[in-house]
Amino acid sequence: MTQVTAVDPAAPGAAGDPPLAPAAPRCDPAGRDPARRDPVGRDLVGRAERLRHDLATRLTALVRPADDAGAGERGGDGGSDGDALAGGDVSVGWHAALAVRSCAARYRAGGEEGWGFPGWSAPTAAAAVGRAALHRHLDDDPPLGIHPLPHPLALVKDWMRATRPAPDRGVAEWVADRLEARDAPTLAATAAGAARWVAGFVRVLGWPLPDGLALLGGGRDGAVLYPWRPWKRAPVAVRSGADARLGRVTGSGDFAVVVHRPTTGADGTLRDRAAFEATAAALSIGVVPARVVVTAGDAGERARVDVDEALLDAGAALVEDVVRQRVIATERGFAAEDATPSAACRRCDLLAGCGPGRAWLDGPGRWRGGLPSR
**Binning pLDDT at 50, 70 and 90, where does residue 371 land?**
low
- Mean pLDDT, to the nearest integer, of 309-334? 90
**Binning pLDDT at 50, 70 and 90, where does residue 355 land?**
confident
pTM of the model: 0.80
Residue 97 lies in a domain: no
pLDDT reported for residue 6: 40
Yes or no: say if 194 and 262 are a contact pair by the CB < 8 Å rule. Answer: no
Looking at the DSSP bridge assignments, the partners of residue 302 are: 21, 295
pLDDT reported for residue 112: 67
Yes or no: say if 302 and 294 are a contact pair by the CB < 8 Å rule. Answer: yes
- Name the residue with higher pLDDT: 301 or 280: 280
Residue 18 lies in a domain: no
Q: Could you say which of 170, 187, 206 is where a domain stops?
A: 206
- Mean pLDDT, to the nearest integer, of 7-14? 37
175 is in which domain, residue-wise? Answer: 122-206
Assess whether pLDDT exceeds 70 at residue 326: yes
- Mean pLDDT, to the nearest integer, of 243-257? 90
Residue 362 lies in a domain: yes
Q: Could you say which of 182, 206, 230 is where a domain stops?
A: 206
pLDDT reported for residue 212: 87
Residue 14 lies in a domain: no
**Binning pLDDT at 50, 70 and 90, where does residue 94 land?**
very high
Taken in order 170, 175, 181, 187, the sign of the CA dihedral is positive
Q: What is the DSSP string of 269-331?
A: GHHHHHHHHHHHHHHHHSS--SEEEEEETTTTEEEEEE--HHHHHHHHHHHHHHHHHHHHHHH
- Structurally, the chain folds into a number of domains equal to 2
pLDDT reported for residue 137: 87
Q: Could you say which of 162, 181, 206 is where a domain stops?
A: 206
pLDDT reported for residue 281: 95
Yes or no: say if 289 and 278 are a contact pair by the CB < 8 Å rule. Answer: yes
Q: Rounded to an integer, what distance in angstroms lies between the CA atom of residue 72 and that of residue 230?
A: 8
pLDDT reported for residue 320: 96
Mean per-residue pLDDT of the chain: 79
pLDDT reported for residue 88: 66
Residue 153 lies in a domain: yes
Kindly report which listed range (3-7, 262-266, 299-303) carries the lowest average pLDDT score. Answer: 3-7
Taken in order 333, 336, 338, 341, the sign of the CA dihedral is positive
Assess whether pLDDT exceeds 60 at residue 89: yes
Assess whether pLDDT exceeds 70 at residue 42: no
Residue 199 lies in a domain: yes
Residue 358 lies in a domain: yes
